[in-house]
Amino acid sequence: MTTPINSQPQFFIGQLVHHRKFDYRGVVIDVDAEFNGTEEWYQQVALSRPPKDKPWYHVLVDNSAQTTYVAERHLEQDPSKAPIDHPAIDVYFDGLENGVYTLGKNRQ
């Protein structure tokens, strides 16, 4: 992950987050320093046109099998320390400690 000087990510892998607009919880599984999708996806999906030059996050969605790609401005820290219910959680993480997921050995 390369990060522009003025664009340090606010969230980290394993951190619990809440989507401000769509009101779901999730956990960060990857961080892109800036938008890393296609222009076609951006035009069709990112309707609020969040900045491409700021961090974007790959998030496992709680109570779902969905993974989302979210602009930083749509996320906030989730104050809950409750675990995320997602079928791929064990693929990425070994467990939850003090509200933060610890990376699985194959991801370190």
Residue 11 covered by a domain: no
pLDDT of residue 43: 87
Residue 73 covered by a domain: yes
Residue 5 covered by a domain: no
pLDDT of residue 54: 95
Q: How many CB atoms lie within 10 A of CB 100?
A: 15
Domain that holds residue 43: 16-107
pLDDT of residue 47: 78
Distant-in-sequence, close-in-space partners of 83: CB < 8 Å, separation ≥ 6? 89, 96
In this structure, what CATH number is given to the domain that contains residue 74? 2.30.30.390
Residue 30 covered by a domain: yes
Q: Hey, is 84 helix, strand or coil?
A: coil
pLDDT of residue 2: 46
Q: What is the mean pLDDT of each run of 10 residues along the chain (108 residues)?
A: 64 97 97 93 85 95 97 95 96 94 76
Split into its structural domains, the chain has a count of 1
pLDDT of residue 104: 76
Residue 3 covered by a domain: no
Residue 42 covered by a domain: yes
pTM: 0.88
The torsion region of residue 36 among left (phi > 0), alpha (psi -120 to 50) and beta comes to: alpha
